[in-house]
Chain A
Amino acid sequence: MPDTASRDRAAAEQLKNEGNVLFSKGKYGAALERYTEAITMSPGWPVPWLNRALCHKKRGDWQKVMDDCHKALLLDSHSLKANYFLGQAHKEQGEHERAIALFLKALEYGREEEDATKDAIWRELAFSKYTLWQEQSKQRTAEHAVLKDRLRGLLLKEHAFKPPGSLHRRATRLCCMQGDGMVRGQSSLDEAAQKELAALDQLFAEVEAKRKPVELGSPYVCPLTMECFREPAVTPSGLSYERSSLREHLKKVGQFDPVTRKPMRESDMYSNHSLRSATRQYLDDNPWAWGDIC
């Protein structure tokens, strides 16, 4: 009966609007009740589910945020807000891997959204990426320390190697007792062992160094925001800037390229998809760099 359905939907819209007014006044409990009524009237409409999830979020009720977001995602799997709020709920529970997947989906589905929302999601993504990296890095450092000790032990055993002091004494003794040939054989064996141990140390040092933050790679940093690119845009001068910052510059400072000062308009800028991919790759290779974004 389409008539009843459309009447119910109209009533639900009315309730949702009342809920929004209450929400904007900070009356989350009362807004929540209106959204619940709206859901009862029109359960197949995702908006009141999402708005109610936002009320739960404001009240810190993360389990209920998850429930409502799951429901909204069943109705519309490409919803930016449903993915975003669900991601936040997982982030709050310390489940960063799930949060990251959801934030990425939200950014993907939100291509057309306003920049402020995407920026907020980007920073939450950075937080989860950075936190996850810190946790993994700590664990790996501990694992590697154990592994390194074991490997050293095995190498020493293999070469029947004694601590350097006693070795030297033994080598000298051998020299006195048995002559040159024997000593040379002994010391070349020690040299091989030393070499392997040094290589082992270097290997672990290199792995460890990769986990240490260094300076941000400048090709991936916008000259205006001085942060890693999120959505780079390229100008006729061939330079790239964060899209939203460049747009603001053209609107408020002047119609010129910020670095070269060559005249340009907003219609002259294009999304730099290659640099965007390169920046994501850089961030994946250097996860510590997420720490500067969040």
Chain B
Amino acid sequence: MSGSTRTPSSVAMRRIQSELNEWLLHPPEGCRLESFEPLLRWVVLMEGPETAPAPGMPRLYDGEVFRLAINFTDRYPLEAPEVMFIPRSPVHPHIYSNGHICLDILYDSANGGWSPALTINKVCLSLRSMLASNTELRRPVGDREYCARMHGRSPKETRWDFDDDTV
């Protein structure tokens, strides 16, 4: 009877707003928010890291800027956000040309590693270090077939296999 106003979506909106405030105070290194309107869809500009994976190795993404699309659902943060690069995506053994990213923390399925304690800020830092530690400019195996099969679908629909820890 009390007519409480707290719906699941207002939980999500409050949390996203808090993350946005936090981001504006302390943005992750090398990242900028291009847009956060509507609040459920962010676009992040990510500069290629200027550090090399090891002394003497080439800096693969130095000077490049990538765009990252982040879509939240009403169930955020209990449900992982959808995170993908807007093509042209960085050439990387774990990033498909359609922008889908093979990184466990981005997915909440049985083998996924999403936790509601993660934030977009931390996700961006992870992605950037994934780029920084890469040593070879190549696409994942089966890139073309995957992109053809997934055409227009969300990376959250993919059954990911995260056992490849070589990169």
The interface of chain A, by Cβ under 8 A from chain B, is: 20, 23, 51, 54, 81, 84, 116-117, 119-120, 215, 223-227, 245, 248-249, 252-253, 256, 258-259, 261, 292
Contacts and interface: CB of A to CB of B under 8 A. Distances in A.
B148 interface: no
A178 B10 CA distance: 77
A215 B26 CA distance: 11
B22 A226 contact: yes
Interface stretch (B12-20, B29-37, B46-54, B58-66): B12-20
B1 interface: yes
A116 B115 contact: no
Interface of B: 1-2, 4-6, 11, 14-15, 18-19, 22, 25, 75, 77-78, 108, 114-117, 119
Given A20-B1, A120-B6, 13 more contacts: A84-B2, A116-B4, A119-B6, A120-B4, A225-B18, A226-B22, A227-B14, A245-B11, A248-B78, A249-B78, A253-B114, A258-B116, A261-B115
A224 B77 contact: yes
B1 A23 contact: yes
A252 B78 contact: yes
Nearest to A215: B25
A253 B5 contact: no
B76 to A, nearest CB: 11
Given A252-B78, A253-B78, A253-B108, A224 B4 contact: no
B5 A120 contact: yes
Nearest to A224: B116
A223 B5 CA distance: 23
Nearest to A115: B6
Given A253-B114, A258-B117, A225 B15 contact: yes
A226 B117 contact: no
Given A51-B1, A120-B5, A259-B117, A226 B15 contact: yes
A54 B155 CA distance: 47
Contacts of B25: 215
A227 B114 CA distance: 20
A77 to B, nearest CB: 19
B107 to A, nearest CB: 12
